[in-house]
Amino acid sequence: MKKDHRAAGGPGGDGLENDDAALEKHVADALVRRGELLPTTEAEVLAAERDGVEHEGELPPGLRSLGDRPSSTGRRRASDAPRSVRDVHVHGAASQRVVSLDEVRRRRAERRSGWASHAGTFVLGAAAAAALLLVTRDVRSPHVPDDRPAGGPTASATSSSAPPTARIAVPAVQECAGTCCAGSRCAAAKGELRRCASGRTCLSCDEGAAVKSAFRVRVGDLVPAKGLPADAMPRLDVCARIAGGAWSCAPARAETTDGEAGRVLPGVVTAADLAGGIELELRARGTTQVVGRWRDAVRVGPNVLCQGAGALLADEKDGTKKDLGSLAIELAPAHWVELARAADTAPLRALRGRLDLADVDPVLVETMGPGDQRFALAVGPIDADVAERLRWALLDRGVDARVVLGADHRGAPRKLPAPTPAP
């Protein structure tokens, strides 16, 4: 244990007890375990190798050979080289391991109704399908940390100006403009794209629109296949990681029935991250023993944003493949539009009372900001394009607004009552 040489309360010192030295070491060890610090001993390296740390895909162009020493000036801030989007469609195209969501829903329905056969032809309607993903757009775990994605959106104008006194009408920002492919407000949507399990009401056909967005990835409960006995479920974890990042694990089936179903992975991701691949592993609970895998790139487009993606985890050994189960992956919106911040909620409630917003509802959010930044009036989480429309609609009407990822939001937001109609 390292001795604490600092005088308590001395210059630059934190006044910590010796106990912190031991805890600090354990924190560092825990971060290595999570892949958030690099292994620095032989044993840690061997453990990381067993965990599959080695990069398996193609190296980026800058690393295919030993290049010149990187420049020390003009250092980039939090942005890796952009990846190219791999041309892999999620729904039943290039990858045989990607199962269609109809398949996921059928299996889930069969399990819930106690049917033994997975070959059933039961087809769910859109309403039941939406229920299976159990999307709750306005409840967020307080323990899910936010992460700004590489090259992601940045905040615009700051808030906290004195709110106007007159009522301000803000037009609808979620109506379908331009060419749309999916969502309940999209007249051109067909079939299962007419109602999105994700709750989105209008999705552009233009995949480029999604490139500007950040998302939270939600991984649903595992629906076991025949190859997996039902009593094995309590002993299994589903672990996920994106673009070779740190693994995040949770029970294969959620153990509580309140709150959101499935797991929201830490941080936010971009389309480029998803093109780098999502990996799922089914592991013996609390261990790194892998019993099944799935890995694929996810191309973000209207289909995936509407209905999510399905993954079929399998155990492949000696050339044979045994399906173990399937689960749904949802890309949830991650952007917030903040209208104002204040030290307490009263001025924010007053501001809310003066806004007539056609199709969005601001909420109160507690933040980790100091003093007069502690509470925020915000709309979200929403996709980047809606956030930008709302931001400009507010700015055009003299209301400060900025788009954020909610990195310092904490706890569940609080809904506000609708304002009384103007006389």
Partner 1 sequence: MAPPDPRSPSLDAATDADLLARIAARAEDPAGARAAQAALYERHVRYLYGAILRQRSSLLRVVGISAEDLVQETFHRAFDRAHTFQRGEEGDPDRDRARTRAWLGRIATNLLADHAGGPREVAATPYVERVSCAGIDEEQPPSQSPRARLVAEGLDSLSEREADVLRVSALHFRAGEEHQRLPNAVSAELAARWETTSENIRAIRMRAMKKLRAFLASRGATAEEAS
Q: Looking only at residues 27 through 46 of this chain, which bind partner 1 when binding is defined by CB under 8 A?
A: 27-46
Of 8, 9, 12, 312, which one interacts with partner 1 (CB under 8 A)?
12
Closest CA to 91 of 78, 79, 101, 81: 101
364 dihedral zone (left: phi>0; alpha: psi -120 to 50; beta): beta
- Is 45 or 123 the residue whose CB approaches partner 1 more closely? 45
Amino acid identity, residue 127? Answer: A
Applying CB under 8 A, the span of 64-72, 86-94, 132-140, 180-188 interacting with partner 1 comes to 64-72
Give the Cα separation of 383 and 363 in Å (integer). 16
For residue 136, the Cα-to-chain-centroid distance in whole angstroms is 13
| C-beta of 199 vs 266, nearer to partner 1 | 266
- DSSP-assigned beta bridge partners for residue 280: 240, 294
- Does position 24 interact with partner 1 (CB under 8 A)? The reply is yes
Contact letters (x/-) for partner 1, 112-151, by CB under 8 A? -------------------------------x-xxxxxx-
Work out whether 413 is an interface residue with partner 1 (CB under 8 A): no
Nearest to 275 by CA among 300, 301, 293: 300
Structure tokens at 61: 């162009």
Interaction pattern, residues 311-350, with partner 1; x per rule: CB under 8 A = ----------------------------------------
Of 65-73, 106-114, 311-319, 340-348, the window that binds partner 1 (rule: CB under 8 A) is 65-73
**What is the sign of the dihedral through the CA atoms of 239, 245, 246 and 248?**
negative
Q: Residue 48 or 211: which CB sits closer to partner 1?
A: 48
Q: Which is nearer to partner 1, 134 or 144 (CB)?
A: 144
Q: How far is the CB of 260 from partner 1 (least distance, A)?
A: 16
**Binding window for partner 1 (CB under 8 A); candidates: 23-31, 108-116, 207-215, 221-229:** 23-31
**Residue 8 engages partner 1 in binding (rule: CB under 8 A):** no
The 217-256 site mask, x for binding partner 1 (CB under 8 A), equals: ------------------------x-xxxx----------
User: Residues binding partner 1: what is the number (CB under 8 A)?
Assistant: 83
Nearest to 385 by CA among 213, 201, 216, 198: 213
CB of 130 to partner 1, least distance (A): 29
Q: DSSP readout, 350-396?
A: HHHHTEEESS---EEEEES--GGGSEEEEEEEE-HHHHHHHHHHHHT
Q: Which is nearer to partner 1, 37 or 350 (CB)?
A: 37
Q: Which residues have C-beta within 8 Å of that of residue 356, sequence separation ≥ 6? A: 167, 168, 169, 170, 419, 422
- Among 69, 127, 256, 420, contact with partner 1 (rule: CB under 8 A): 69
CA distances from 200 to 130, 139, 182, 305, 386 (A): 11, 16, 8, 8, 11
Q: Tell whether residue 267 is a contact of partner 1 (CB under 8 A).
A: yes
Q: Scanning residues 77 to 106, which ones bind partner 1 (CB under 8 A)?
A: 77-81
Q: Whole-number minimum distance, CB 239 to partner 1, in Å?
A: 13
Residues near 239 by beta carbon (within 8 Å), at least 6 away in sequence: 247, 248, 249, 250, 280, 281, 282, 283
Nearest to 272 by CA among 89, 79, 61, 85: 85
- Give 30 or 128: the residue with its C-beta nearer to partner 1: 30
Q: How far is the CB of 332 from partner 1 (least distance, A)?
A: 17
Asked if 47 interacts with partner 1 (CB under 8 A), we say: yes
